[in-house]
A and B are shown apart, each in its own frame.
Chain A
Amino acid sequence: MTDISVLEIDRLTVSLGSGRAARPILDEVTVRVDTGEVVGLVGESGSGKSVTCRAALGLLPRGARVNGSVRVAGTEVVGLRGSGLRALRSRQVAMIYQDPRACVNPVRRIGDFLTEGLRTGLGMSAAQAQERIIELLELVGIRDPRAAMRQFPHEFSGGMLQRMVIAAALAPEPALLLADEPTTALDVTTQAEVIAVLTALRASRGTGMLFVTHDLELASAICDRIYVMYAGRVVEHAPVRRLFTRPRHPYTAALLMSTPTLASTNARLVAIEGRPVGLAEAPPGCSFAGRCVHVRDGCRDTVPPLRPVLERVSTGDALEAATQSAACLFEGELGDLLAPRSVVVPDAVSGCVG
């Protein structure tokens, strides 16, 4: 493979409306996904994770003002329109959505949904498209795919439907797969199945994946690296293990402490005070300052930049440390104060796969 990142979002700033009514949504978000990599984008609702994800498809809200750059496999997406945008969407990027029932046209046969992208985007014949889809349906675990294609969406369970959405997303062999909370609308056992399917695909294909979720635990089961977002900004970025053992932003640390884990049933969960805010309601300075237990003088003055974490670690962690960054002015001083009290390192692959 080339060393081109499949997704490079560089200082993406998005606001809705203009002038006095302008509502900022994203502020200088930088995200990178390399070939074959699974990258998590984690945050509460309103953190801007879905907007970031959709930006890769050129799917920003009508009238959004955009600064910065979004490149997919080397193609600039910002400002792309017409046939260029359609080509990007039909060949380079595909997305898996939260609610498979809402995202498949309910009145057309599932086969129409599955082959539509291949036929309109790649100009395949019906027979060619059907052949490729049948292979993929087998891959995601649909029995008797030929019969399934003649059925209607309401005849399938949510989990089955999500597998088909995944198959449809993989069909054009995109360079980048976006997964926007792909398991949130499913029940827990189905979640595990869908994650298993995604994990298996990850092993067998070189597709890069951006996995958007509010569930850190889930992200840890499938991702290599994680970006933590809060109020329209990336506040921390680190490899999964690193993020779980040594979070360097108070928000990440608080998220970890508020998340129940399968491995430790007796650890006390600590809720984060207050409610999540969007970028538009965020206070000046660090947007997490209002809810941060470590808040100090200066936190409310300037927006802390996302900086590489400098650390005096002697062990083999050194390489990972270089890839961690956090947007906290006092990250260095807080240091191990932020480490979770009970350290649970989820196994990156088997963690959530039943």
Chain B
Amino acid sequence: MAASGPALGTRAAVLFVGRRLASLVLTLLATSFLVFGAVHLTPGDPARAMLGPHATPAAIAAIHAQYHLDDPFLVQYAHWLGGLSRGDFGRSIQFRQDVTSVLAPRIAVTGELVAYAAALTMLGVLLGVAAAVRPGVVDTGIVVSTTVATAMPSFVVAILLVAIFGVKLGWLPVVGVGDGPVSRLAHLTMPAVALAVSLVGLLARVTRAGVLDQLGREHVEVARARGVPWLRVVRRHALRNALGPILTVGGTLVAGILVTTSIVETAFGIHGLGELLVKSVAQKDLPVVQALALLTVVVFVVMNLVIDVVAALVDPRVALGVRVA
């Protein structure tokens, strides 16, 4: 290949991000249709779910009229889509409020929880590096414990944590989110750990494999043969070069935390987006379910975009939007 400029030209980067944002809109359109369709295919009547078994036919008819539940499917979809384009997600059936005002207060707490869990997940990188550079007892210990951690679903971890730290030792609060930063941190610790445990395990394994692969490369031996201190070799050559897969896996895992919050928030009584999703599905609160599903898709797509851009930043051989053979 002829010598060319840096792989990440500004123009190329802007074009790339522009293209990806355009494809985000298309993805959202397709997903919105799927989500809308799937939710409508589920049996049951939201009005009945809301009003209970003793509701009068007149009351049910009123709800149907208010939420356009009797319109043909495509008309309902078009109506909803039109609202979306104006930033209107519709009205929540269970709360009798705009969906946006239902979501707004919950976004912060779920955001904090996800950020906390994501920060804990990064411990996996440290564990993976430690396992890679310390063969023997340390490596075996980390490999065994991360295998166990990977196999632990978050609800099992949640039960264990509550039983040990919440009930038996009484160190950490079991329910709610607390007031003030310190109390908030204490309240979110167990949920965040429950979310992160299996991800730490996964990320540690990916990191270990990547760093081990790099440590066996000639350029690492060359760096050592030049008298570069070992820690710097690990940091600047082995870990640095293994970052691509670590970031890809790490980013996807972090985006996935949002989905797992539904279980953990319910388990710890946190009124966040995850708990809202569970409640809304049970109540057949279609507008809320649709909004949350779209939000999840946006988070995944944006995370993928970020991963692609970062991958090009950490490895100059990766050209943005171009597959290099």
Contact = CB atoms under 8 A, between A and B. Distances in A.
B221 interface: yes
B241 interface: yes
A120 B228 contact: yes
Contact of A97 (B3, B218, B237): B218
Given A116-B223, A151-B3, A156-B3, A107 B315 contact: yes
A120 B232 contact: yes
Contacts of A151: 3, 6
Interface in B206-259: 217-219, 221-229, 232, 236-237, 240-241
B282 interface: no
A87 interface: yes
Contacts of B4: 155
A107 B232 CA distance: 15
Which of A89, A102, A107, A116 counts the most B-chain CB atoms under 10 A from its CB? Answer: A107
A91 interface: yes
Contact of A99 (B218, B223, B228, B237): B218
A95 interface: yes
B1 interface: yes
Contacts of A86: 227-229
A152 B1 CA distance: 13
Given A97-B222, A103-B219, A116 B228 contact: yes
A20 B225 CA distance: 31
Nearest to A121: B227
Interface string A77-94: 000000001111111001
A154 B241 contact: no
B68 interface: no
A90 B227 contact: yes
B246 to A, nearest CB: 13
Interface in A292-336: none
Interface in A140-157: 151-152, 154-156
A175 interface: no
Interface in B1-53: 1, 3-4, 6-7
B79 interface: no
Contact of B229 (A57, A106, A120, A156): A120
A25 interface: no
A88 B241 CA distance: 26
A105 B315 CA distance: 11
Contact of A155 (B3, B226, B315): B3
Contacts of A88: 227
A152 B314 CA distance: 12
A257 B237 CA distance: 45
Majority-rule SS of A interface residues: helix
B316 interface: yes
Contacts of A22: none
Nearest to B315: A107
A217 B201 CA distance: 55
Interface in A115-164: 116-117, 120-121, 151-152, 154-156
A121 B226 CA distance: 8
B226 A106 contact: no
A54 B316 CA distance: 31
A156 B3 CA distance: 6
Interface residues of A, number: 31
A59 B228 CA distance: 13
A333 to B, nearest CB: 44
Contacts of A95: 222, 225
Given A89-B225, A116-B228, A105 B316 contact: no
Contact of A107 (B218, B224, B228, B240): B240
A154 B3 CA distance: 8
B200 to A, nearest CB: 26
Contacts of B316: 106-107, 152, 154
Contacts of B6: 151-152
B221 A121 contact: no
A154 B226 contact: no
Contacts of B219: 102-106
A59 B221 contact: yes
B227 A152 contact: no
A99 B6 CA distance: 23
B241 A117 contact: no
Given A97-B218, A151-B3, A154-B1, A105 B223 contact: yes
A108 B241 CA distance: 9
A59 B225 contact: yes
Nearest to B244: A107
A105 B232 CA distance: 13
A154 B4 CA distance: 10
Interface of A: 54, 57, 59, 85-91, 94-95, 97, 99, 102-108, 116-117, 120-121, 151-152, 154-156, 168
Per CB-CB distance, the 7 closest pairs between chain A and chain B, nearest first, are: A90-B227, A89-B227, A102-B218, A86-B227, A103-B222, A152-B316, A117-B226
17 contacts: A57-B225, A59-B224, A59-B225, A86-B228, A89-B226, A90-B227, A94-B226, A102-B218, A103-B219, A103-B221, A105-B241, A120-B228, A120-B229, A151-B3, A154-B1, A154-B317, A155-B3
Interface of B: 1, 3-4, 6-7, 217-219, 221-229, 232, 236-237, 240-241, 314-317
Given A107-B240, A107-B241, 6 more contacts: A90-B226, A94-B226, A103-B222, A105-B219, A121-B226, A155-B1
